[in-house]
């Protein structure tokens, strides 16, 4: 039996959800007739850290009118099994910007901190960006998945599909001029690219009137540092494209 009360509560709520219970009364709501014959139960504080399970959260993404309401909706999502193993959802890093980077999924560090690209790959990404003159607070970084896959395994197609409405709405609300997919999972999610990164990198595709390019994922560079200059070249190309479209960084 688990000893973590938050996890126990989360599992409990997930069980209720699977039995068809969509809502639980607040502690302040009147007790049922069956319990009013007895001394009123001590009020149970409403859980703050555990969101109400919401398997249909992705379908509500399109109705979110700002990033904060989208972030709050993502935090409630139980649309795929990753909700059972995540510590928390991971929404974004940086600020709305004409330049958006899209990574794959949170890893252990991101899952613990609730922010994208804060582990080893994230530190390398920060260095790469610095190397071409961009600080992280001037761009926006999101991921294909908002929850960490266990043991950092690659995203499953069903997880990508479940999370897709969140990324789509995130892109619409940020409204970037250029998007850079980091790695093959992001390239597949954004533009359906299934070929090699070598063939795709440095080229541009249109997605809903926005230009999308791709480069190697920083985790790949940690294993293959020989491609570091290639990525810097791609990042410079991204900046040139953004400038040619009149994009001004915040
Ligand atoms: N890798 C990613 O793709 N995203 C993160 O947030 C961290 C590592």
**Partners of 54 in the β-ladder:** 77
Atom of ligand 1 nearest to the CA of 103: 3
Residue 75 domain-assigned (yes or no): yes
* Residue 198 in domain: yes
Q: What angle do CA 161, 124, 72 make, to 5 degrees?
A: 40
By mean pLDDT, which of 41-55, 99-113, 235-249 is the weakest? 41-55
Query: Is there a contact between 134 and 221 (Cβ–Cβ < 8 Å)?
Result: no
Close Cβ partners of 67 (under 8 Å, ≥ 6 residues apart)? 92, 96, 170, 173, 174
Instruction: Please tell me the distance from the alpha carbon of residue 212 to that of residue 208, in angstroms, as a whole number.
Output: 10
| Chain mean pLDDT for the chain | 86
Residue owning the nearest CA to atom 7 of ligand 1:
117
Which pTM does this prediction carry?
0.80
Q: Is residue 36, in this structure, part of any structural domain at all?
A: no
Which region among 35-49, 74-88, 119-133, 227-241 has the lowest average model confidence (pLDDT)? 35-49
Tell me, yes or no, whether 120 lies in a domain: yes
Residue 248 pLDDT class (50, 70, 90 cuts): confident
Residue 212: per-residue pLDDT: 98
**Residue 141 domain flag:** yes
User: What are the pLDDT digits (tens) for 129-178?
Assistant: 999 999 999 999 999 999 999 999 999 999 999 999 999 999 999 999 99
Parent domain of 89:
57-244
Specify if 49 maps to a domain. no
Pairing of strands 210-215, 205-207: antiparallel
Is there a domain that residue 35 lies in? no
Q: Is 59 helix (H, G, I), strand (E, B) or coil?
A: helix
**What pLDDT is stored for residue 39 in this prediction?**
39
State the closest ligand 1 atom to the C-alpha of 104, by its place in the atom list counted from 1. 3
Q: How buried is 35 (Cβ within 10 angstroms: 0-12 exposed, 13-18 middle, 19+ buried)?
A: exposed
**Tens of pLDDT, residues 202-212:** 999 999 999 99
User: What is d(CA 197, CA 186) in angstroms, rounded to the nearest whole number?
Assistant: 11
Cα distances (angstroms) measured from residue 198 to each of 66, 141, 229:
36, 22, 13
For residue 187, what is the domain's CATH number? 3.40.470.10
| pLDDT at 52 (0 to 100) | 76
Percent of the chain predicted with pLDDT > 70? 80
Whether pLDDT at 214 is above 90: yes
The 205-207 sheet, strands edge to edge: 93-94, 140-143, 99-103, 178-182, 210-215, 205-207
DSSP secondary structure of 105-139: ---HHHHHHTSSS-SHHHHHHHHHHHHTT--GGGS
Number of domains in the chain: 1
Domain-located, residue 87: yes
CA 153 / ligand 1 centre spacing (Å): 12
What whole-number percentage of the chain has pLDDT above 90? 76
User: What are 7-51's pLDDT values in tens digits?
Assistant: 555 554 454 454 334 444 343 333 333 333 333 444 444 444 456
Position in ligand 1 atom list of the atom nearest CA 110: 6
Query: What's the gap between Cα 157 and its chain centre?
Result: 15
For tokens 């990508």, what's the residue?
160
Q: How many CA atoms lie within 13 A of 106 on its CB side?
A: 25
Residue 72 pLDDT greater than 50, yes or no:
yes
Q: What is the pLDDT of residue 142?
A: 98
Q: What are phi and psi of 151, to 5 degrees?
A: 55, 25
Ligand 1 neighbours (beta carbon < 6 A): 103-107, 110, 116-117, 119, 121-122, 143, 219
């Amino acid at each position: 039996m688990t000893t973590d009360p938050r996890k126990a509560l989360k599992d409990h709520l997930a069980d209720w959800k699977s039995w068809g219970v969509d809502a639980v009364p607040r502690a302040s709501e009147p007790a049922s007739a069956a319990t009013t014959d007895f001394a009123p139960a001590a009020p149970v504080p409403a859980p703050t850290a555990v969101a109400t399970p919401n398997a249909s959260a992705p379908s509500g993404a399109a109705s979110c009118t700002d990033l904060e309401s989208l972030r709050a909706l993502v935090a409630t999502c139980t649309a795929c099994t990753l909700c059972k193993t995540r510590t928390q959802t991971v929404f974004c890093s940086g600020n709305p910007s004409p330049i958006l980077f899209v990574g794959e999924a949170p890893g252990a560090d991101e899952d613990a901190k609730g922010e994208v690209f804060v582990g080893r790959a994230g530190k390398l990404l920060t260095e790469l960006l610095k190397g071409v003159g961009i600080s992280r607070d001037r761009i926006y970084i999101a991921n294909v998945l908002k929850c960490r896959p266990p043991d950092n395994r690659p995203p499953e197609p069903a997880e990508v599909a479940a999370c897709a409405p969140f990324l789509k709405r995130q892109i619409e609300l940020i409204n970037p001029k250029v998007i850079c997919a980091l790695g093959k999972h992001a390239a597949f999610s954004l533009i359906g690219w299934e070929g090699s990164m070598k063939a795709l990198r440095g080229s541009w595709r249109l997605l809903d009137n926005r230009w999308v390019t791709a480069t190697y994922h920083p985790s790949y560079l940690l294993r293959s540092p020989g491609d570091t200059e290639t990525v810097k070249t791609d990042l410079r190309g991204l900046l040139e494209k953004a400038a040619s479209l009149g994009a001004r960084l915040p």
